[in-house]
A and B are shown apart, each in its own frame.
Chain A
Amino acid sequence: MTVFLEIEDLTGGYGDATVLFDVTCSLESGQILGVLGRNGVGKSTLARLVQGGLMAHSGDVRLKGRSLTKLPAYARRAVGVGYMPQTSMVFDDLSVYDNLNLGQNKKPLDPYFDLFPRLAERLHQKAGTMSGGERKILAFVRSMIEDTRLIVLDEPSEGVQPENISHMARCIKERASDGAGIILCEQNLTLLREVSDSFLGLDTGRIQLRGTADTLKPEDLREFISL
């Protein structure tokens, strides 16, 4: 049977500088992979290598057996890879409504407006005029409503109020239960532990910790992130 997502010996970075080395892991549909690590260890690089914002120096990323490595980001989106970046996560010059309706979206918005009513209140406001936390929520909701099979989330909880982080956790679990595979790059252990089925710990661009929610203890994760 074909594995949903396979990442094999993935190495990449920015120009000639290699940031991520030989990352190998896999993910089944409906599962959530938590990627943890401190700032600058390669979480965002891994996210962008999977999503197509960066091209791999070597290695392969396969979605349902199809190699994505040579595809640009827009083509990966066409085959079902969604992405929420850590920074520059919204279109500042577009309204909240236009941000949410720009892609090929199929999920209804109302359930998300119930959870995040600030978005509904600011529907016609330019996204660039919103606070950092609100922009994170907008980018998060955009990535949730898109018609995608794999969602790569890069630090969605950064700067977001705890109440909204728990709403995010609920949305992530719902999307996974719909069959989407999710890669969640995070430093927020509470969110990671609440939603993740398996974990990947990165340090200096290499995998240093690997396990499932059952095999890894909370203190293992806490110790790893505070290294």
Chain B
Amino acid sequence: MSTVLILNLAWQISTLALVALGLAIVFGQLRIMNMAHGEFVMLGAYAPFITSSLGLSPWLQVPVCLITVGSIALLMERSIIRHLYGRMFDSLLATWGIAILMREGVELFFGRGYQSVSPPVSGTVSILGTDYPAYRIVVICIILLGFTALYWWSKTSKIANKIKAMVGNPDLAQAVGINTARLSSGAFVFGCCCAGIAGLLLAPTIRIEPMMGLDYLIRSFFALVVGGLGSLEGLAIGTGVIAGTQTVLGAIASQTYGYLSVLTLSILFLWLKPNGVRSSSR
């Protein structure tokens, strides 16, 4: 396997893991099938344009992304999602409608055409004699660090335990003093912000347009189907299988075969192992 293929594999797996993380929190923990997840990735990708249109410094792209995505997610949770906990199909329909609204809203402000952003880190780095874009290496490192911190936090934090408690037994969680409405709201906004940050980090490497979110939603969903819900280990396995299969088959055959294999894998998992490789006991 060539160095480029290995690095591409690392890039595809890490970026899919970051994109799917938000969906894993919202779908895996809160059982809300957020069809607008890809639109939050898209909103994050537009953050550089929002920043420049407001005449702000490029250094403020991260706060602008978090404020934009976070406030829309909070508004969405307070007005609609809050009433749909425990109603997965209803949440799917409602968020599908919100996704359309968000796409149309972005199209209204920024137009339908493709946009592009220059990476903040330019040039290439040489790895085992292969030149690879420096920005991608930086993003892979950021994602690795982020996931290590998140894994440590999930094993040691009291808030992580409160989320597990709330998901497993919401009535008892309230009885021990957990404000489940506030915690759900926080988890939903955090999940959407993860999607937004993913979009911001991916922005310099992709074509940005209002319809871009759908592909990220589908691939994230496939990763959760394969890996199972409720654990970071499952998320890692799911993204590894989906992004790995697509990248390797895309390289040795074609992108069509890569995508076809991902679809086939997901259908097989839904049929034969609907809880995925690794899911929590729920």
Query: Do chains A and B stick together as partners?
Result: yes
Using a CB–CB cutoff of 8 Å, the interface residues on chain A facing chain B are: 51-53, 72-74, 77-78, 82-83, 85, 88-94, 98, 101-104, 126, 128, 142, 146
| B180 contacts across to A, CB distance below 8 A | 74
Separation of A146 and B172 alpha carbons in the complex (Å): 14
Min CB–CB distance B58 → chain A (angstroms): 42
- List, in ascending order, chain B residues with CB within 8 A of A93's CB: 164, 167-168, 280-282
Cβ contact within 8 Å between A91 and B177: no
Given the known inter-chain contacts A98-B161, A102-B161, A128-B281, please indicate yes or no for A88 contacting B169, CB distance below 8 A.
yes
- Range for the number of chain B residues in contact with chain A: 20 to 34
Structural contact, B176 and A92, CB atoms closer than 8 A: no
Q: Which of A51, A101, A128 contacts B175 (CB 8 A)?
A: A51
Bitwise, B157-179 to A at CB < 8 A (1) or not (0) is 01001101101110111111111
What's the least CB distance linking A103 to chain B, in Å? 4
- Alpha-carbon distance A72/B158, docked complex (angstroms): 22
Which B residues are in CB contact (< 8 Å) with A94?
Answer: 161, 164-165, 168
B281 in contact with A53 (CB, 8 Å): no
Is the pair B172, A89 in contact by a Cβ cutoff of 8 Å? yes
Which residues of B have CB within 8 Å of A77? 174-177
**Subset of 26 A-B contacts with CB under 8 Å:** A52-B175, A73-B174, A73-B175, A74-B173, A74-B177, A74-B180, A77-B174, A77-B175, A77-B176, A77-B177, A83-B175, A90-B172, A91-B165, A91-B168, A91-B172, A93-B164, A93-B280, A94-B161, A94-B164, A98-B161, A102-B158, A102-B161, A103-B176, A103-B177, A104-B177, A126-B281
Residues of B within 8 A of A78 (CB): 177
Given A93-B281, A102-B161, A102-B162: A142 and B176 within 8 A (CB)?
yes
Cross-chain contact of A91 among B158, B169, B179 (Cβ < 8 A): B169
Q: Report chain A residues within 8 Å CB of B282.
A: 93
Taking CB atoms, residues of chain A closer than 8 Å to B171 are 53, 73, 85, 88
In whole angstroms, how far apart are the Cα atoms of A142 and B165 in the complex?
A: 14
Cβ-closest chain B residue relative to A89: B172
Query: Which chain A residues border B178 with CB–CB below 8 Å?
Result: 74, 102
Chain B residues positioned under 8 Å from A53 (CB to CB) = 171, 174-175
Query: Most chain-B Cβ atoms within 10 A of its Cβ — which of A91, A126, A146?
Result: A91
* C-alpha gap A53/B164 in the complex (Å): 19
Residues of A with C-beta under 8 A to B164: 91, 93-94
Q: With A91-B165, A93-B282, A102-B158 given, name 6 new contacts (CB 8 A).
A: A73-B175, A74-B178, A82-B175, A94-B161, A103-B177, A142-B176
| Contact status of A88 and B177, CB under 8 A, knowing A94-B161, A128-B281 | no
Alpha-carbon separation in the docked complex, A88 to B173 (Å): 11
Neighbouring A residues of B173 by C-beta, 8 Å: 74, 91
Chain A residues positioned under 8 Å from B177 (CB to CB): 74, 77-78, 103-104
B169-212 vs A, Cβ < 8 Å mask (1 yes, 0 no): 10111111111100000000000000000000000000000000
